[in-house]
Structure formats: structure tokens, C-alpha cells
Amino acid sequence: MTTPRTALLQSSGRLGDVGHNLRLIDEAAERAAAAGARLLTVPELFLTGYAIGDRIAELAEPADGPSAAAIARTATRHGVAVCYGYPERAGDHVHNSAQLIGAAGERLLNYRKTHLFGEFEQHWFTPGDTPVVQVELPELAGLRVGAMICYDVEFPENVRAHALAGTDLLLVPTAQMHPFQFVAESLVPVRAFENQLYVAYVNRTGPEGEFEFIGRSCLAGPDGIARARAGHHPELVVADLDPAFLTASRQANPYLADRRPALYTTIG
């Protein structure tokens, strides 16, 4: 069996230019496919840029909108599933969302960020209310893939919910900014270890409006070690996933089996 391989695009794209950013996704998918990857993940709000302020309402699209159709064409053209961040229009609400489109062009999951960070996000977005969204991905040997966005991964309950639901690979499109580099470098690998899963943490990079994104995207394994790590500049990172190692690691580190939920009832 071919080793499942995934790609992480660390980039901020071009602020407010959806067409340009769709082309970047297509180019990255072509490069990912050439490197043997079957899944590409790009950062939070990649379609539009993060610091778009009052243009969010103008640029937001429904989950089945024109950009989803464009990414479906990219996915089928290159044989690569694509997970991307975008502002989702849903009736009168706009969500900070991540959608996964399979290599056959089908929409597989759509996740709405549940924990909004800071005044900017809390002003412009409506939080989601579904913490675990996941799907088995044939492109990755049937691994169960889940999604959350940036700040969500900093809440241990969120990631533990995925672990209990059987997520093998957690995709985290991100817009992590200065001075929180320790999240990418330390917290994310710990999340992977304590929950015995892979975490693909895919960040923006460079200045954008009032923000300075720090990069440092990574694929962290269930042993708490980053299989691949980007620097501070735009970069396509490719790394392997090992289902057999994941199974062995879970047997050696039985955190989920050794839990005592009756002791945790006082935790709100």
C-alpha cells in the first residue's frame, strides 16, 4: 500500500483577490500531486485574506458557491483533495469556515469555527456550534479526517472530542500571529501526542493589515514530533502519514482507554 502523503501550503495569498488565491491553490495542488500527496490543506480564510474588514460581507460565499466549484475542478484535475478556509455566507450569517473537497470533486465536510479569536472575528463572524466534523478519506487510505480552525485547537476539549470520535488526522487551517509562535511550535505537537492523532497545522505568513502572521506550519505526529515544519516564509510542505505507526502509538499510549470520565463531571 502506498504511504498516505499530505501537503500543507503556508501562504497568505493576496488580500481580497479571490481569483488570484484560487490560482495559488491550483498551482499548489499541481505541485502536491507531483510530490505524491493526495491531500492539500491551505490556511484560514485563504480565499479572501484575513484582514479584509468590512469586505467580509461582500466576499463571503455559500458552501456550494463559485469558489467551491472552482476548487472542485482543481481537485479533480490534479487528483488531490483540498481543504481550504473561507468566509461562508449562510443566510443572514457569515461563518469562518473550512471546507474539504475530495479528489473526485465532491464536498466532503464543511466546518464552522466554534471559538472566535479577538474583537475582529467576534464582530464579523457567527460562531459554529458543531465541534466535531469528520469524514473517512479514501485518498489517505481511509484515514478519518476532521477539521477545526486556528484558535479552536488551543482548547483541549475540542481536540479531545475529535480523539474520542476517532479522528486520525486533524486539519487546522490557521491564521496564527505574533507573538503566539509557541502555539505552532509547542502546543500543537502536544495536542497530537495527548490525543494520539496527527495534526496538520497550516498557517498564514507575513504582514497583513494590523497582523503579522508567523508561519511555522507543521504536521505533528502522535509521538509529539513534527514530521515536517515550515519556516517563516511561503512554502509548500509535504509529509507522510503512517497508519501502522498511529495504531502502534495508540496501543503504547492508551490515554483514551485510561480516562476516568466520572472524575471530570465538575468540569464545565
pLDDT per position as a tens digit, 95-151: 999 999 999 999 999 999 999 999 999 999 999 999 999 999 999 999 999 999 999
CATH code: domain of residue 70: 3.60.110.10
Please state the φ and ψ torsions of residue 114, each to the nearest 5 degrees.
Answer: -95, -25
The pLDDT of residue 77 is above 80: yes
Nearest Cα neighbor of 223 from 185, 264, 195, 243 is 195
Number of domains in the chain: 1
Per-residue pLDDT, averaged over 48-67, amounts to 95
Per the structure, the complete domain to which residue 86 belongs is given by 5-264
Q: What is the pLDDT of residue 159?
A: 98
Question: In the chain, what percentage of residues exceed pLDDT 70?
Answer: 100
DSSP-derived letter for residue 227 is E
Q: What is the pLDDT of residue 24?
A: 98
pTM: 0.97
The pLDDT of residue 1 is above 60: no
Q: What is the pLDDT of residue 57?
A: 87
Q: What is the pLDDT of residue 124?
A: 95
Give residue-wise pLDDT tens across range 175-228.
999 999 999 999 999 999 999 999 999 999 999 989 999 999 999 999 999 999
Residue 250 CA from chain centroid, whole number: 22
Kindly give the residue spans of alpha helices, DSSP state H, lying in the chain: 18-34, 56-59, 66-78, 118-124, 156-164, 181-182, 188-195, 243-252, 255-258
Residue 131 CA from chain centroid, whole number: 14
Could you list the active site residues?
Answer: 44, 113, 150
Q: What is the pLDDT of residue 236?
A: 98
Question: Does residue 167 contact residue 61 with C-beta atoms inside 8 Å?
Answer: no
> Considering the chain, what is the average pLDDT of its residues?
96
DSSP-derived letter for residue 184 is I
Sequence-distant (≥ 6) Cβ neighbours of residue 229 within 8 angstroms: 216, 217, 218, 237
Range list of β-strands (E), the chain: 5-10, 39-41, 81-90, 93-101, 107-112, 134-137, 143-147, 169-173, 198-202, 205-208, 211-214, 218-220, 226-229, 235-240
Q: What is the pLDDT of residue 91?
A: 95
The pLDDT of residue 171 is above 90: yes
